[in-house]
């Protein structure tokens, strides 16, 4: 029996326990850095599966590391398990959680049964939906001895080379002067007016922004009562672009909108960009992605971009940061749903048996591609050569 057959059989044999694990995480949605239940469930599963598990790893209470194998190259497989506020696992992170542990187990079983050297590391990364858990993993050295990294993500299509945008987040504040809104409005400087004007200016900016740029915001505070001209207003904005230079240029134009609105309303403004939490674009490693795509095709799945070429999604992930540290892939796979990610309909889809089965198929492709990389020095050399050519000085 081949390594790849062992991997597939291992995943199939674990299907029932993986399904229970997925539904357990789905039923207990937890937000950024609060994934206590998911952390406990996943580390318990991995311990029972024979991994050397480090809970609360790399200075994060809800991160973990689980390792199996001896010697040889080391590959990392990522699990995510945080949820969204209000709508739970509307990005299917319960499925990403089980895909990571299942692929890790499949690779480990195959290597050990056939006596092949190689190490697989399952990394539990909290706070993908905001907070940058993988950025902290990078900063704390989780990838220093890792040769490649992989994860998969449920979505709206079968895509090997997802178009993932860099993103930066800011909190902007406007400060004005209180006054009675009816008795002496001329005495006030309306901070909410400044924020609304900035919001509208950004809306107009979108007309001239590059089609790949995305800007969206949410007002958090706009005053206390209608009859008090607000002296304080605050909002949060996301700015996305396909690479760092365009992101920085767009950020400057957004700040011009803030400055112009403040000047027009006689208010002061300040902005706090979330240093250390910028998500990079996804640098899909070609040789690794091709290996995944061919293995996926062998399992009966054809991706829209099997022969190369970047496809949708325009989302963002801190896996992008990992892809600038080691050769990495982040394929997307379709699960049937009535709407896209980050909707209640997708939350429901992430709990279906069909979604589970499709996750296992994509997981097998990831495990097979990981075994390809671990056992094929030529593939490792090509993946590293492309990475170094792309990320050279």
**Number of C-alpha atoms within 13 angstroms, CB side, residue 284?**
24
pLDDT at 63: 98
CB 66 within 8 A of CB 52: yes
Q: CA angle, 393 as apex, 214 and 312 as ends, to 5°?
A: 25
Residue with more model confidence, 304 or 391:
391
pLDDT at 28: 98
pLDDT at 338: 79
Q: How confident is the model at residue 391 (pLDDT cuts 50, 70, 90)?
A: confident
Q: How confident is the model at residue 274 (pLDDT cuts 50, 70, 90)?
A: confident
Residue 392 pLDDT > 70: no
Residue 187 pLDDT > 70: yes
3-class secondary structure, 185 = helix
Q: CA angle, 120 as apex, 117 and 123 as ends, to 5°?
A: 165
pLDDT at 167: 95
pLDDT at 307: 64
CB 194 within 8 A of CB 233: yes
Give the lowest-confidence range in 45-54, 238-247, 250-259, 334-343: 334-343
User: What spatial distance separates the first Cα and last Cα of the chain, rounded to whole Å?
Assistant: 44
pLDDT digits (tens, 9 = 90+) for 107-162: 999 999 999 999 999 999 999 998 999 999 999 999 999 999 999 999 988 999 99
Q: Return mean pLDDT, the chain.
A: 95
Q: How confident is the model at residue 285 (pLDDT cuts 50, 70, 90)?
A: very high
pLDDT digits (tens, 9 = 90+) for 301-351: 988 666 655 555 668 999 999 999 999 999 999 998 878 899 999 999 999
pLDDT at 339: 82
Residue 58 pLDDT > 60: yes
d(CA 143, CA 59): 15
d(CA 168, CA 67): 32
- For 141, other C-beta atoms within 10 Å of its C-beta total 9
Residue 7 pLDDT > 60: yes
282 DSSP assignment = P
d(CA 222, CA 210): 30
pTM for the structure as a whole = 0.92
CB 368 within 8 A of CB 110: no
Residue with more model confidence, 341 or 77:
77
CB 168 within 8 A of CB 241: no
d(CA 111, CA 116): 5
- Write down the H helix ranges in the chain: 3-13, 15-27, 36-48, 93-114, 133-139, 191-208, 244-265, 286-298, 319-323, 344-349, 353-375, 377-391
Among residues 333, 328, 334, the alpha carbon closest in space to that of 291 is found at 328
pLDDT at 310: 55
pLDDT at 124: 98
pLDDT average, residue stretch 213-242 = 96
């Amino acid at each position: 029996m081949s390594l790849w057959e062992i991997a597939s059989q291992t995943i199939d044999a674990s299907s029932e326990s993986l399904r229970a694990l997925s539904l357990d995480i789905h039923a207990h949605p937890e937000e950024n850095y609060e994934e206590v239940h998911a952390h406990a469930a996943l580390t318990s599963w991995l311990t029972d599966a024979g991994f050397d598990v480090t809970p609360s790893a790399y200075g994060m209470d809800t991160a973990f590391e689980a390792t199996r194998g001896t010697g040889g190259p080391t590959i990392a497989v990522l699990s995510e398990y945080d949820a969204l506020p209000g709508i739970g696992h509307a990005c299917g992170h319960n499925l990403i959680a089980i895909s990571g542990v299942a692929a890790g187990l499949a690779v480990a079983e195959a290597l050990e049964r056939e006596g092949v050297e190689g190490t697989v590391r399952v990394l539990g990364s909290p706070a993908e939906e905001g907070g940058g858990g993988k950025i902290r993993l990078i900063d704390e050295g989780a990838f220093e001895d890792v040769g490649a990294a992989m994860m998969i993500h449920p979505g709206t299509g079968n895509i090997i080379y997802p178009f993932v945008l860099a993103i930066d987040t800011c909190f902007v504040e406007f400060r004005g002067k209180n006054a009675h809104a009816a008795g002496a409005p001329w005495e006030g400087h309306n901070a909410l007016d400044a924020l609304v004007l900035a919001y509208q200016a950004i809306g107009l900016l979108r007309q001239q922004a590059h089609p790949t740029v995305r800007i969206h915001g949410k007002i958090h505070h706009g005053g206390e009562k209608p009859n008090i001209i607000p002296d304080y207003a605050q909002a949060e904005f996301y700015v996305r672009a396909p690479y760092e230079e365009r992101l920085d240029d767009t950020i400057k134009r957004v700040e011009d909108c803030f400055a112009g609105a403040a000047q027009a309303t006689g208010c002061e403004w300040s902005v706090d960009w979330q240093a250390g939490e910028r998500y990079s674009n996804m640098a899909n490693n070609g040789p690794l992605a091709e290996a995944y795509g061919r293995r996926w095709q062998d399992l009966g799945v054809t991706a829209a971009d099997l022969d190369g070429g970047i496809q949708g999604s325009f989302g963002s992930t801190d896996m992008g940061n990992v892809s600038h540290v080691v050769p990495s892939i982040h394929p997307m796979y379709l699960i049937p749903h009535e709407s896209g990610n980050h909707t209640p309909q997708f939350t429901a889809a992430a709990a279906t048996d069909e979604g589970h089965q499709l996750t296992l198929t994509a997981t097998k492709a990831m495990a097979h591609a990981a075994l390809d990389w671990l056992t094929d020095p030529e593939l490792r050399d090509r993946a590293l050569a492309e990475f170094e050519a792309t990320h050279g000085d």
